[in-house]
Amino acid sequence: MSIIKVLPDNLVNQIAAGEVIERPASVVKELVENSIDAGSTDIVIEIKDAGKTLIKVTDNGFGMSKEDLELALKRHATSKLSEEKDLWNIHTMGFRGEAVPSISSVSQFTIRSKTKDDLAGTEINSDGGEIIKMSEVGMNIGTCVEVRSLFFNTPARQKYLKQDSTEIGHATALLNTIALAHPEISFKLIHNDKVIFDLAKSTDLISRVADIFGKATSDAMLPIFYGGSEFQFDGFIGKPLLSRSTSQHQYFFVNKRPIQHFLLANTIREAFHSMLMENKKPVFIININIDPSLVDVNVHPRKLEVRFVDQQALIRTMYNATKAALEKTDLTPLAFTESQRYMTDSFPKNITRDPSQNYSQHYSIPKNSQSTAQEALSFTKNFLQERDSQPLQNSSPDGAPSLKSISQISNSYIVAESNEGLVLIDQHAAHERVRYEELMDQFQNENKSIQPLLVPAQMEFNDQEARLIEENIGIFTVLGFDIKPFGGRTFIINAVPSFLSKEDIDEVIKGVLDDIVNEKNPTKFQGNTEAVINYMACRSAIKFGQKLTLPEMQALIMQMEKLKRPYTCPHGRPTMIKLTLSELERMFGRK
């Protein structure tokens, strides 16, 4: 007697629902994507009890006939695919034909729809996937789906739902993501009869960004664009001051389909190189337009991941476009409206919210595997040698410096005047950036600028320092140092990089070794040239609290104006902030 059995349809549907429907936000995603595929321009989402009691999605799309509506509740019934080759020509959000039957199998489900050719609409009611009623109904053109008592027949699944604030937070963030991909569509979300947001149609993405995250955020976004023949992309990257501790505001879309792509995200972060604070991630919203035949969207059960045919070309182009956008923009933060945002993860909101709920949770996307992360880190290292673009031109047309030093505050901050107003400069951070660029140029330049010492310096170290010198002597050598063992724990310094020739070399080297000792992750540090460069830049820079003369201040300013990226220190902190004449006029009541 055979022990293999064909599963009944209701059980098959519930298994499929487990793959597609994890929580109320998953239902919202599937239904809203269907509305988008139906050509809708207005979509209303009504939710009660975070979706546990009711999820209702109403659209003004082209609707379905009675015959199509019946088929919509059957598994793998879809209008979006007909043969295998169509899998390589996907133009729609959904295509598997599993969403509607999967949702109906775990809920009390009602769907009504009407096309422009129908005199009346059709309504179908089902309970746990079983159709119990079909009838005509009066309605406008479009589709309305009501999902009640989600997981009523799978109590184990229902038990694992989170509190309402968490579940509605997932749904809200998900809808924000979809709304960013489709500014041409209006979205309205209502929770427990209160409007959470009402996003009007927009002709451009930046207006939708302002509607969701606030104008201060949209003003801090930089446009990014590439128009090639194989693929194109456009969107916005946030200035360094918008960087966040998590990746929750990193948005990629492929032909307007939300995806996750660790490799591309890491590439953009590398393009911000040394402009972000430790553990901060850039904010971006980028839509990639590509021939569907050059991308596989069928590699993930929830369609969150894709595979590109020529992934390396896309990554290289994305890196260069991001780098160019950053290097052609003045990234100096405004004193009162931007500088403080280096220290916060909050975006200002200007959309209506339910004050009784917490919407801080974001629609979560599963983390990629460790192997993918290693691939990303390995690949993007190849780009670190590409920093050979021209320096930013911060000088006035006649060649004079655009900033003029005026004074020093607390022997720590330089006050300078520009055509726009005042600029406050953190002297240590600014000189640290200068030193960093000098050391990086020294590292990358075959013809290094080295200064032999008239009298070689003899330095004696403790056991730990001597071991660290021996382990990292190759790094010191490529930076322009000539260090040789002299027996025991003693070393001889014969030459140093030219720009360090006037520094206290003992203090610089011992300070760098001390930083290495105090490294939080010694294994990660091992052989890390850039970490040594960061430490050396910090140790050799002008100190916080060091008195400077006006000529010394001006000399530092002129050094900064030659840099590619003068706006942050190597650790991502701002080197300067500006107080514009307009801000001053407002502060003094003149405007």
In this predicted structure, which of 160-169, 332-341, 418-427, 492-501 has the lowest mean pLDDT?
Answer: 332-341
Q: Looking at the structure, do residues 156 and 211 belong to the same domain, yes or no? A: no
pLDDT for the residue numbered 490? 93
Mean pLDDT of 346-360: 42
pLDDT for the residue numbered 522? 55
Rounded distance between C-alpha atoms, residue 56 and residue 73, angstroms: 17
Of 290, 324, 356, the residue at which a domain comes to its end is 356
Condensed to tens digits (0 to 9), the pLDDT of residues 228-253 reads 888 999 999 999 989 998 888 999 99
Condensed to tens digits (0 to 9), the pLDDT of residues 160-196 reads 899 999 999 999 999 999 999 999 999 999 999 999 9
Q: Looking at the structure, do residues 410 and 547 belong to the same domain, yes or no? A: yes
The number of domains in the chain is: 3
- Under the banding of pLDDT at 50, 70 and 90, the label for residue 281 is very high
Rounded distance between C-alpha atoms, residue 538 and residue 511, angstroms: 9
Q: Enter the DSSP assignment of 347.
A: P
pLDDT for the residue numbered 471? 86
Query: In terms of residue numbers, what domain contains 497?
Result: 404-579
Q: Looking at the structure, do residues 214 and 311 belong to the same domain, yes or no? A: yes
Tell me the pTM. Answer: 0.78
pLDDT reading at 521 higher than 80: no
Q: Is residue 374 assigned to a domain? A: no
pLDDT reading at 58 higher than 90: yes
Q: Enter the DSSP assignment of 389.
A: P
Residue pair 147/141 in contact by the 8 Å Cβ criterion: no
pLDDT for the residue numbered 303? 56
pLDDT for the residue numbered 555? 95
Closest CA to 240 of 573, 576, 579: 573
Residue pair 454/363 in contact by the 8 Å Cβ criterion: no
Query: Higher confidence at residue 394 or residue 531?
Result: 531
Mean pLDDT of 282-299: 85
Q: What's the length of the chain?
A: 591
For the domain that residue 346 is a member of, what is the CATH number? 3.30.230.10
Query: How many CA within 13 A on the CB side of residue 583?
Result: 14
Q: Looking at the structure, do residues 416 and 488 belong to the same domain, yes or no? A: yes
pLDDT for the residue numbered 376? 39
Average pLDDT for the chain:
82
Q: Is residue 229 assigned to a domain? A: yes
pLDDT for the residue numbered 516? 84
Rounded distance between C-alpha atoms, residue 34 and residue 147, angstroms: 14
Residue with tokens 């089902």: 126
* Structure-block tokens of residue 538: 């910090």
pLDDT for the residue numbered 74? 75
Q: Is residue 371 assigned to a domain? A: no
* Structure-block tokens of residue 162: 């989170």
* Structure-block tokens of residue 449: 């600028």
Query: Higher confidence at residue 562 or residue 348?
Result: 562
Residue pair 485/465 in contact by the 8 Å Cβ criterion: no
pLDDT for the residue numbered 360? 34
Residue with tokens 């008592």: 149
Q: Looking at the structure, do residues 28 and 93 belong to the same domain, yes or no? A: yes
Residues with Cβ within 8 Å of 524's Cβ and at least 6 positions away in sequence, in order, are: none
pLDDT reading at 114 higher than 90: yes
Q: Looking at the structure, do residues 420 and 313 belong to the same domain, yes or no? A: no
Rounded distance between C-alpha atoms, residue 160 and residue 26, angstroms: 14
In this predicted structure, which of 336-340, 458-462, 562-566 has the lowest mean pLDDT?
Answer: 336-340
Q: Is residue 175 assigned to a domain? A: no
Q: Looking at the structure, do residues 329 and 240 belong to the same domain, yes or no? A: yes
Residues with Cβ within 8 Å of 437's Cβ and at least 6 positions away in sequence, in order, are: 563, 564, 565
Q: Rounded to the nearest 5°, which phi and psi values hold at 409?
A: -105, 125
Condensed to tens digits (0 to 9), the pLDDT of residues 301-343 reads 555 677 888 889 999 999 999 999 998 888 988 876 676 665 5
Q: Is residue 336 assigned to a domain? A: yes
In this predicted structure, which of 13-17, 147-151, 366-370 has the lowest mean pLDDT?
Answer: 366-370
Q: Is residue 190 assigned to a domain? A: no
In this predicted structure, which of 105-119, 269-283, 302-316, 369-383 has the lowest mean pLDDT?
Answer: 369-383
Q: Could you list the beta-strand ranges (E) of 115-185.
A: 121-127, 130-137, 142-148
pLDDT for the residue numbered 297? 67
pLDDT for the residue numbered 401? 54
pLDDT for the residue numbered 73? 80
Q: Looking at the structure, do residues 570 and 511 belong to the same domain, yes or no? A: yes
Radius of gyration of the chain (CA): 30
For the domain that residue 34 is a member of, what is the CATH number? 3.30.565.10
* Structure-block tokens of residue 278: 């430790």
Query: Higher confidence at residue 298 or residue 140?
Result: 140
pLDDT reading at 468 higher than 80: yes
76: left (phi over 0), alpha (psi -120 to 50) or beta: left
Of 300, 328, 356, the residue at which a domain comes to its end is 356
* Rounded-to-5 percentages of helix, strand, coil across the chain: 40, 25, 40
Q: Is residue 366 assigned to a domain? A: no
Q: Enter the DSSP assignment of 574.
A: B
Q: In the chain, pLDDT over 90 holds for what percent of residues?
A: 50
pLDDT for the residue numbered 525? 55
pLDDT reading at 536 higher than 70: yes
pLDDT for the residue numbered 239? 93
Which residues, in sequence order, are bridge partners of residue 308? 295
